[in-house]
Amino acid sequence: MTAMLRNLAQATTRRPRVSIAALLLLSIALIGAGTSAGGDFVDDFTVPGIESQKAQDLIGERFPGQGGDSATVVLTSGGPLKQAGRASAIAAATAAIERQPHVSSVEDPFSAGHLSRDGRTAFTTVTYDGDADDLGKEPRERLEEATKPLARAGVGVAMAGPIVDAGNEGALPIGELAGVVVALVLLLLVLRSARAALSSLLTAFVGLGLGFAALGLAAAGMDIPSLAPTMAAMLGLGAGIDYALLSASRVQEELRAGRTPAAAATRANETAGHSAVTAAGIVLVSISGLLVTGIPFVGKVGVAAGVMVLLTALVGVLLLPPLFAAAGRKMLPRRERAQPAAPADPFEANGFDAAAGGGGAAAEADAGHAADAADAADAGHAGWAVRRPWFALVLGSIVAVVLCVPAAGIELGQPDNGNLPRDETQRQAYDRLAAAFGPGFNGPLVVAVDAPQDAAGVAGKLRTALADTPDVVSVSEPALNREGDAALVTVYPRSSPQDDQTADLVKRLRDDTIPAALEGSSATAYVGGYTARIVDEAQRIADRLPLFALVVVGLSLLLLAMTFRSLKVAVLSAVFNLVSIVAAYGVIHLFFQTETGANLIGVDVQPIVPYTPLFMFAILFGLSTDYNVFLLSRVREEWQRLGHVGPAVAVASARTRRTITAAGAIMIVVFLGFATDPDSTIKMTGIGLASAILVDITLVRLVLAPASLTLLGDRLWGVHPTVAESEQRRVPAA
């Protein structure tokens, strides 16, 4: 691949401006085609094989019209709702809702089970004939209009449900935009050249545009979750800027060493560009491991994000060389542009005995690898981790363990309306229902019964058994379908949806109560509903986790071993990745599941979305590999030049430290920008990824990696051929 990238750069840098124009026009055409022919993003949360999905499928098949989404309207007052004035206002509002488009049914708020014991809280469920995503925000607006007169009657209104969620106004992406602005500032500070910074940012945005076009085209032929573009943008933007920064930094280094702009761009493409494409490929492979989780929408989101990262890397190796060549010495800071190149070898300048290492001749052979005076100064104090590797490794390991310990406290679950800000109508509906009817009222379990014979009798017997089950507060009367061969029974638990007791109840109903009640009949029953689905998804993830980890780690190890031709290097890289990942798990536990951490970021304590750790594992195993590949590629490059791993680690660490730190800082601000998203999955993933990158560029990259590489020494790749030949010549002939 190195030769291909070199040839590609040479071809595009011969006439750089023509290449830039052609590539940009082609990109615009592809983006336009993808935008015009692309489809809409559709959420399909179907999970084949789990029991709650079977319940949902049975409801959709036997109860047409009830398979649509719904809205729950909660009514409260300081006095009895049945008081004449309030009751008439409520009747008028429900009648108005019944006449609205797409409404298939409206429950009576004063019917049994809908009115609280004190008569001050009631609710009605409005069922629609379609999905919330298809119906859009109009149903919520109509509900708000129909219930507006209730305020004059002294009746408070709060609403919840998929229909209400679909009507949420999308906020401006202030956090994401701020992240981009800060990333640009960091690029300017690191590169000290507006031309270099803008070229890097332009390439990242072109890659992002092509990625969105590809997702749009894919959405025209299959269901792509609405979460996919946000997740893909978060990773694509961070990785795209990172890859461009790594290449731009290498171009600056090569220009300082005396290369021409075209030669510098070519050299950067075959080194930093090679690292970027390799890392992006590993990101795609690792994140595609989400396909084995058995949860289709999770796999699709992962593949979408991986494709976005790979496209940004490919755009980089195509567009960056001509951009850098066209910029010429403007890639350098202004004060350096007129200065003649003055190569210096930090290896010899900082006290390393090149001759003793057998690498003196190799070190002098390639002036293109020499760094400027600043690099030489860095190599002089290449890091205490290189000079005292055992101390650094022990100390770093202790810190890593401390950071990873909180991860053991992670509790998986699904944040619900009870975790929303208190001024949201969904949160108000949740709190009012819990106060009036009990905490389990917000997480009802729906038991779908398939009974070809005597459905009424079977459902009645089942209802009695369900009502007698411990931790069940109430059970609705069975609702039969028109054909009389299926029934629905709603079960209200005593505990809240996020309580472990509710998950235990789901298991007890499935394993004990329902089988005993249906014994001797041909009927089958499935426990479904939102709460049961979360229990099922968490179990599916737990069951598939070993296979998922094996696929991600195994394939990544294989690619790394092929890249570096060393299994030891691949395993070491995997260990570094795992340290960052587990530390990130600890951080999201501290921020989302402790009072202090939750208060710091302005959220309530809440469970971790079950598939968030999966996203983080797959994404971070790929992204952390970026820095591993960049550092280890440079170590290998310096090893080939100098002859021994020890000095190579010192020089490579010195020359890459600033760039990796800056690249990580850019990734962090981009991820934190997305962490302002109200979606729990995006918020948790953004904070988790940012914290993992912080650990990676500090603890791992500055301490653990240099210390480990130094201690392993020549055992990483073996004795350098030049050194081996030199040692062989020193042995006298027998």
Beta-carbon neighbour count of residue 533 at 10 Å?
A: 20
pLDDT given for residue 271 in this prediction: 87
- HEC profile of 481-533: CCCCCEEEEEEEECCCCCCHHHHHHHHHHHHHHHHHHCCCCCCEEEEECHHHH
Q: Does 417 score more than 80 pLDDT?
A: yes
From the CA atom positions of the chain, what is the Rg in Å?
31
Q: Which residues pair with 103 in a beta bridge?
A: 128
Q: Is residue 383 very low, low, confident or very high in pLDDT (cuts 50, 70, 90)?
A: low
pLDDT given for residue 221 in this prediction: 86
Q: Does 644 score more than 60 pLDDT?
A: yes
- Contacts (Cβ under 8 Å, ≥6 apart) of 65: 104, 105, 127, 129
pLDDT given for residue 460 in this prediction: 93
Compute the distance between CA of residue 417 and CA of residue 438 in angstroms, rounded to an integer: 15
Is 639 in contact with 715 (CB distance < 8 Å)?
A: no
Compute the distance between CA of residue 345 and CA of residue 352 in angstroms, rounded to an integer: 11
Instruction: Compute the mean pLDDT over every residue in the chain, rounded to the nearest whole number.
Output: 84
pLDDT given for residue 318 in this prediction: 95
Mode of pairing for the β-strands spanning 121-128 and 479-480: unpaired
pLDDT given for residue 66 in this prediction: 62
Q: Is residue 349 very low, low, confident or very high in pLDDT (cuts 50, 70, 90)?
A: very low
Q: Is residue 361 very low, low, confident or very high in pLDDT (cuts 50, 70, 90)?
A: very low
Cβ-in-10-Å burial (0-12, 13-18, 19+) of 510 comes to middle
Half-sphere exposure in the Cβ direction for 168 (13 Å, CA): 15
pTM (two decimals): 0.77
- Contacts (Cβ under 8 Å, ≥6 apart) of 679: 227, 230
Q: Does 364 score more than 80 pLDDT?
A: no
Q: Is residue 67 very low, low, confident or very high in pLDDT (cuts 50, 70, 90)?
A: low
Q: Does 445 score more than 90 pLDDT?
A: yes
CATH classification of 425-535, choosing from 2.140.10.30, 3.30.70.100, 3.30.750.24, 2.40.110.20? 3.30.70.100
Mode of pairing for the β-strands spanning 486-493 and 156-160: unpaired
Q: What are phi and psi of 121, to 5 degrees?
A: -135, 135
Architecture of domain 1-37+192-342: Up-down Bundle (1.20)
pLDDT given for residue 539 in this prediction: 87
- Contacts (Cβ under 8 Å, ≥6 apart) of 7: none
Compute the distance between CA of residue 275 and CA of residue 305 in angstroms, rounded to an integer: 19
Compute the distance between CA of residue 521 and CA of residue 322 in angstroms, rounded to an integer: 74
Q: Does 559 score more than 70 pLDDT?
A: yes
Q: Does 377 score more than 80 pLDDT?
A: no
75 alpha-carbon distance from chain centroid: 38
| Residue 203, token pair as written in the block | 């390439």
Q: Is residue 514 very low, low, confident or very high in pLDDT (cuts 50, 70, 90)?
A: very high
pLDDT given for residue 170 in this prediction: 54
Q: What sign does the dihedral 596-602-605-609 (CA atoms) show? A: negative
Looking at residue 115, what DSSP letter applies? B
Residue with tokens 């299959």, as numbered in its chain? 222
Is 315 in contact with 211 (CB distance < 8 Å)?
A: no
pLDDT given for residue 381 in this prediction: 44
Of the listed ranges 339-353, 413-427, 584-598, the least confidently predicted one is: 339-353
Domains 1-37+192-342 and 425-535 share a fold: no
Q: Does 133 score more than 80 pLDDT?
A: no
| Residue 183, token pair as written in the block | 């990333």
List pLDDT tens digits, range 669-699: 888 888 887 777 788 888 998 999 999 888 9
Residue with tokens 């229909």, as numbered in its chain? 163
Of the listed ranges 364-373, 479-488, 507-516, 652-661, the least confidently predicted one is: 364-373
Is 671 in contact with 686 (CB distance < 8 Å)?
A: yes
pLDDT given for residue 340 in this prediction: 57
Q: Is residue 142 very low, low, confident or very high in pLDDT (cuts 50, 70, 90)?
A: very high
pLDDT given for residue 375 in this prediction: 43
Compute the distance between CA of residue 46 and CA of residue 66 in angstroms, rounded to an integer: 17
List pLDDT tens digits, range 519-558: 988 999 999 998 899 899 888 888 888 888 888 888 888 8
Q: Does 277 score more than 60 pLDDT?
A: yes
Consecutive H or E run containing 123: strand 121-128
**What is residue 575's three-state secondary structure?**
helix
Percent of the chain with pLDDT over 90: 40
Compute the distance between CA of residue 219 and CA of residue 568 in angstroms, rounded to an integer: 41
pLDDT given for residue 251 in this prediction: 93
- Contacts (Cβ under 8 Å, ≥6 apart) of 86: 77, 79, 80, 153, 154, 155
Compute the distance between CA of residue 565 and CA of residue 558 in angstroms, rounded to an integer: 10
List pLDDT tens digits, range 107-124: 899 987 789 999 999 999
List pLDDT tens digits, range 281-290: 888 888 888 8
List pLDDT tens digits, range 390-411: 999 999 999 999 999 999 998 8
Domain extent listing, the chain: 1-37+192-342, 425-535
pLDDT given for residue 378 in this prediction: 47
Mode of pairing for the β-strands spanning 486-493 and 479-480: antiparallel
List pLDDT tens digits, range 591-633: 999 999 988 888 888 888 888 888 888 888 877 777 777 787 7
Half-sphere exposure in the Cβ direction for 360 (13 Å, CA): 7
Of 656, 645, 620, the residue nearest 566 (C-alpha):
645
pLDDT given for residue 323 in this prediction: 96
Compute the distance between CA of residue 139 and CA of residue 167 in angstroms, rounded to an integer: 8
Of the listed ranges 69-73, 300-304, 521-525, 657-661, the least confidently predicted one is: 657-661
Q: Does 348 score more than 80 pLDDT?
A: no
Compute the distance between CA of residue 264 and CA of residue 252 in angstroms, rounded to an integer: 8
Residue with tokens 């050299």, as numbered in its chain? 267
Consecutive H or E run containing 73: strand 70-76
List pLDDT tens digits, range 306-330: 899 999 999 999 999 999 999 999 9
